[in-house]
C-alpha cells in the first residue's frame, strides 16, 4: 500500500497550537540563519509552508517531497514566486548534481526514511564544500512523545552525528522547547496525554489530532499558508553534546558543515 504522507503533514488551514507554530518558526529561523547565499534545497518539504522564509534568506529554494498531494499544495501556494520551485522527489535518490546547494534542510522527516544513512549521504553529496545541512527531529524521549504513523526509527543526535562525521562533516547539536509542564493545568494535560499515548488513543492524522488540541490545549489557530517572520516567536536553542542520546527537550536540531 502506498503511504499517503499528506494525511500527517502540517497543511494550511488546519488547527495548530501556538507551540506548534513556534516550533515551525524556530526551525525555519535556524535554517535562514545558516542559509548562505543560496540556492537551498528542502528535503521532505511537505506543503511548503516555510519555503518563502528560505527564499528570503538565500534568494532561491527548491522544495522536494515524495507525496504528490503535498507537492501540488506547495506548487499552488508558491506559483506566483519565481524564487521557489517544488517537485516530487525521493530523499534516497536526489536528482541533483554534486555540490548543487549552499544549504540543505530536512525537518521532522528523518524517522520516515527507510534507509536513513543513504538519505543523509545524499543530502551531504548535494552540498557545496563548506555548505550547511540543517536537520530537525523530535526527541522520542520527551514525556509526551507520540510515535507518528508511518514512522520507522527515531534517530538520536548521537546516531546522526556519527553518520555525519563519517562523511567528514563538522556537527553542532542544539536542543529546544524544554520538556517541563508549567503549572497545575499543564501537569494534568501532560498526564492525560501520557495516558492517551500508552492506550493508543491519539489519532494518526492531523485532522484527527485537531479536535484533541482544541479540547486539551486551549484551542488552536489556523496553520498559515505561508510562514512569515512574525507568525510566531522563535525559541532560544541551547547547545548539546554531539553524543547526546537523551535530554529534557522536545526537539533536537543539528547543523552539519561539509568540509571546504
- What whole-number distance in Å separates Cα of residue 122 and Cα of residue 64? 13
The string of DSSP letters for 99-160 reads T-EEEEEEES-GGG-TTHHHHHHHHHHTEEEEEEEEEEEE-TTSTT--PPTT------HHHH
- Between CA 206 and CA 8 the distance in angstroms is 5
Residue 20 has pLDDT above 60, yes or no: yes
How far from 127 is each of 47, 66, 110, CA to CA, in Å? Answer: 23, 20, 18
Does pTM top 0.75 for this prediction?
yes
Of 49, 30, 33, 51, nearest to 41 by C-alpha is: 51
Average pLDDT over residues 166-170: 97
pLDDT tens per residue, range 97-140: 999 999 999 999 999 999 999 999 999 999 999 999 999 999 99
Instruction: Tell me the DSSP string of 9-32.
Output: S--TTSEE-HHHHHHHHHHHHHHH
pLDDT for res 60: 96
Read off the pLDDT of each residue in 67-73 and give the average, rounded to a whole number: 97
All cell numbers assigned to 90: 525521493
The pLDDT tens digits of the residues spanning 178-227 come to 997 654 445 554 544 554 545 454 444 455 454 554 444 456 889 999 99
Confidence category of residue 6, pLDDT binned at 50, 70, 90: confident
Helices and strands (H and E) in the chain: how many: 7, 10
**Secondary structure element (H or E) that encloses residue 174, with its range:** strand 170-178
Q: Using omega within 30 degrees of 0 as the cis cutoff, is the peptide bond preceding 230 cis?
A: no
Domains belonging to the chain, first-starting first, are: 5-179+221-257 (3.40.50.150)
Give the integer Cα–Cα distance in Å for 188 and 181.
9
Q: Could you tell me how many residues make up the chain?
A: 260
Give 219: exposed, middle or buried? Use CB within 10 Å, 0-12, 13-18, 19+. exposed
Cβ atoms of residues 242 and 171 within 8 Å: yes
Which of 90-104, 214-228, 239-253 has the least mean pLDDT?
214-228
Amino acid at each position: 500500500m502506498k503511504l499517503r504522507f499528506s494525511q500527517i503533514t502540517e497543511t494550511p488551514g488546519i488547527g495548530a497550537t501556538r507551540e506548534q507554530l513556534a516550533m515551525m518558526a524556530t526551525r525555519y529561523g535556524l535554517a535562514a540563519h545558516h542559509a548562505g547565499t543560496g540556492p537551498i534545497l528542502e528535503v521532505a518539504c511537505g506543503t511548503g509552508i516555510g519555503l518563502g522564509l528560505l527564499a528570503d534568506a538565500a534568494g532561491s529554494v527548491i522544495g522536494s517531497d515524495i507525496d504528490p498531494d503535498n507537492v501540488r499544495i506547495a506548487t499552488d501556494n508558491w506559483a506566483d514566486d519565481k524564487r521557489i520551485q517544488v517537485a516530487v522527489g525521493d530523499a534516497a535518490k536526489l536528482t541533483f548534481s554534486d555540490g548543487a546547494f549552499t544549504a540543505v534542510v530536512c525537518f521532522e522527516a528523518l524517522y520516515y526514511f527507510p534507509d536513513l544513512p543513504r538519505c543523509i549521504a545524499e543530502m551531504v553529496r548535494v552540498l557545496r564544500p563548506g555548505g550547511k545541512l540543517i536537520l530537525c527531529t523530535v526527541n522520542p524521549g520527551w514525556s509526551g512523545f507520540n510515535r507518528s504513523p508511518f514512522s520507522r526509527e527515531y534517530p538520536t543526535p548521537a546516531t546522526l552525528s556519527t553518520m555525519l562525521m563519517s562523511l567528514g562533516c563538522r556537527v553542532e547539536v542544539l536542543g529546544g522547547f524544554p520538556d517541563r509542564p508549567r503549572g497545575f493545568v499543564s501537569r494534568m494535560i501532560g498526564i492525560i496525554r501520557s495516558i492517551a499515548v500508552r492506550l493508543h488513543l491519539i489519532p494518526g492524522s492531523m485532522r484527527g489530532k485537531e479536535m484533541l488540541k482544541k479540547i486539551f490545549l486551549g484551542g488552536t489557530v489556523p496553520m498559515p499558508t505561508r510562514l512569515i517572520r512574525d507568525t510566531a516567536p522563535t525559541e532560544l536553542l541551547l547547545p548539546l553534546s554531539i553524543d547526546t542520546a537523551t535530554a529534557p527537550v522536545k526537539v533536537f536540531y543539528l547543523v552539519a558543515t561539509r568540509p571546504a
